[in-house]
Amino acid sequence: MLGKKALEGIAAYKYKAGSYTYLDNVLNHFWTASVQLLPIWMAPNLVTMIGTVVMMFTTVVQLYFAPHFSEICPTWVYVLSALGLFFYQTMDALDGKQARRTGASSPLGQLFDHGCDAVCTVFNVLSAAATCQVGVGLRPYVALSSVSISFYLAQWEEYHTGVMSCGNGFFGVTEGQLTLVAVHLLAAVFGAGFWTAELPFATPFPVTMTDVLIGALVASNVLLAYGNISNVLRAAPDAIPRDELGNKHISKPLALFQLIPIGILLVLGSLWICGPDAVNYENYPVLFLFPIGIGYVFFSTRMIVSHMCKIPFTPQLRVIIPFGFVIFNAYGPSVGILSKPLIPTILASSLYVVFIVLVYLHFVSGVVKDICDFLNIFLFKIKPVTTETEKTK
């Protein structure tokens, strides 16, 4: 999966800590104490994985009760979602501390951490959509796309500048995650109707708490996107030192070109949920939103790998072409190109879900295996340190 230059690049990769917000510094005391509760044998990536699996599980439970993002869940489900997200956020903060505590720090740890963050972004949005009862339509799609594109742009900026901007110094990832925890807890305490209630003051048109939340989400992500793009376009040609640049190709035109795959995915996703397949989307919204989310995750993960391996970013449009066929299959009859869909549209959608998940898992597993073999480490196990005495025995 990875060539020699890529493996040499990631072996030479040096982690750079990002900026911290006030809340990060406050919670750092809690995280420092919490990491002492972890067994010393527990690998940092296992810490990340446990948090990720728990959060994914709580989201699946919630979607079981609210598959159309409009059903009212039992109170305990909202509490479970809040606890699951808080647990994930805590474990995500502990993995780096566990790596330093056990002496098991490696470039694979950061790669695995960011990869899990990308996947969890999709699950977080779906869970919040269910809690806020956004229903089907554009709202869950807009929320998912804005968050996913913002995540991609953060990785894209780091690729071109060597610096990742995940906030403005006051509001960052931690604040965003704890805001979602509060979203679930408010529904648990005040009832599911809290987020569907209209604002208690006069407005030109009905506005619910959910509308305010989604509006704030999109607005904040637009501002972050503006910052990401501005930073890349204003970056000096030598913003990244030569030893950190490796084999990456950096230029303004190329940077803009790398936004095209995300733009194509956004357009195709919009056509998918708003076109002839809209009825199926209304009946099975997760079947449509999940593969779109994984498409964003795939591109983000490839950008992360390219940056850490110091290699050119290749978008791999193989995830876009089958998606285009799904759109063609749905639109063909309505525009007169086909007499009927080549295959039932719901089957085409289901097959695309399987395809995109398998492509992503194949890519991730291949990258992880190559790095583990090259660095002579394990993914979920801390390799015993061999002393010089043991080597000579």
List residues with catalytic annotation.
114
Determine the Cα–Cα distance for residues 36 and 126; give it in Å rounded to an integer.
32
Q: Is 208 helix (H, G, I), strand (E, B) or coil?
A: strand
Helix, strand counts (H, E) of the chain: 16, 0
Residue 95, both tokens: 């993995």
Q: Which residue matches tokens 């005495």?
A: 389
**Residue 261: half-sphere exposure toward Cβ, Cα within 13 Å:** 24
Residue 124, both tokens: 């977080």
Contacts 24+ apart (CB under 8 A), 170-174: 170/21, 170/22, 171/21, 171/220, 172/19, 172/20, 172/21, 172/23, 172/24, 174/21, 174/23, 174/24, 174/27, 174/89, 174/93
Helix 4-11 to helix 285-309 angle, to the nearest 10 degrees? Answer: 80
Contacts 24+ apart (CB under 8 A), 10-14: 10/107, 10/108, 10/111, 10/308, 10/309, 10/310, 10/371, 10/374, 11/107, 11/374, 11/375, 12/243, 12/246, 12/310, 13/107, 13/110, 13/308, 13/309, 13/310, 14/244
Residues whose CB falls within 8 Å of the CB of residue 199, separated by 6 or more in sequence, listed in order: 207, 208, 209, 212
Reported residue count of the chain is 393
Nearest CA-CA partner of 287 in 265, 299, 269, 301: 269
CA 102-297-257 angle, to 5 degrees, is 115
Specify the DSSP class assigned to residue 148.
Answer: H
